[in-house]
Chains A and B, each alone.
Chain A
Amino acid sequence: MPVLATIATINFLFPSSDEGAASFLSPYVLKTRCEEEIEDTDKRQQAVELTEQLHRLAAQYQEAVVATVENYVDESVKWESSADGLIEALEPWDDSRRETLQEIVRVRQSMHDLLTTEQWNRVFG
């Protein structure tokens, strides 16, 4: 059981709460902060679109979490299951997780290129 709980835990990335500081891991909070703090209309719109990309990544990530847990359970319940079989079953979701992290970094870089230092500090300050 601790294995199942751990498999589930280590796949969580985005907090379940929509409260707290602006963060790339809290797309809703970040979107609100962008709407509040960026005066330039065009930039604000582009920033909001980036937060919407983050939201889609979060949803995609949650689906991968569920798939990981389901695959882990499906493989584990077989009497003939093995660690190597489990590792192979989870590999696509490891790759998916890795890709999501890279996408988050890409979105963050776009936001970095878009905002001035002052705007960035207002949003994340």
Chain B
Amino acid sequence: MGTENKQNDQKLINRRQALKLAISSVLLVTGCATTSSSSDLDTAVNELNGLLIDASMDSDRYLLVSIANKIENKARELVAGHKVFIDDFDQLLSNYDSTENQIKQTAEAYGNRRRQLRDELLHLQDELHTAMTPDEWDKVVQVLNQTGKAIASYSLSES
């Protein structure tokens, strides 16, 4: 019984973690744009929720959740930095007294920082990938394809 309760607790933690990740991914997307295609994204994220629960039940759950949390933190840092940059860049462009060099330097500095953080994020994805079995990765691929198409389609419809 004790073992069963412990397993249930672990499952509960994983569900909570998975839900947190799913919600954060929605927030990250909607933070950048008004999602007229939010229903597509909701569907994909709901599938992701189920996927993360299944994946964590079948493999080393603590390692996966730990890597996923690092990804979430890195993603939030990157997105927050991007929002600050857009505001600063926009303000510098509109300010009559800004110099061309000043604006270029701001853009260059952000570009370098962004690329560094993005690369770190991709290396974390590598860690997640390594921690998963091919079968689990296949499930990730299905969700990735579906959500990627939804985001690309949304971006095209806005251009």
Q: Using CB atoms and an 8 Å cutoff, list the residues of chain A in contact with chain B.
A: 1-10, 12-13, 15-17, 21-25, 58-59, 62-63, 65-66, 69-70, 72-73, 76-77, 79, 81-83, 86-87, 90, 94, 97-98, 101-102, 104-105, 108-109, 112, 117, 120-121, 124
Which chain B residues lie closer than 8 Å to A97 at the CB level?
111
Dominant SS at the B interface?
A: helix
Structural contact, A59 and B159, CB atoms closer than 8 A? yes
Given A10-B114, A24-B90, 8 further pairs, Cβ under 8 A? A1-B25, A5-B75, A8-B155, A9-B32, A17-B34, A76-B141, A97-B111, A121-B96
Structural contact, A62 and B155, CB atoms closer than 8 A? yes
Tally the A-B contacts, defined by beta carbons under 8 Å: 145
Dominant SS at the A interface?
A: helix
Structural contact, A1 and B122, CB atoms closer than 8 A? no
Which chain A residues lie closer than 8 Å to B96 at the CB level?
112, 117, 120-121, 124
Interface centre among A8, A77, A98 (most CB of B within 10 A): A8
Contact with A along B9-27 (1 / 0, CB 8 A): 0000000000001101110
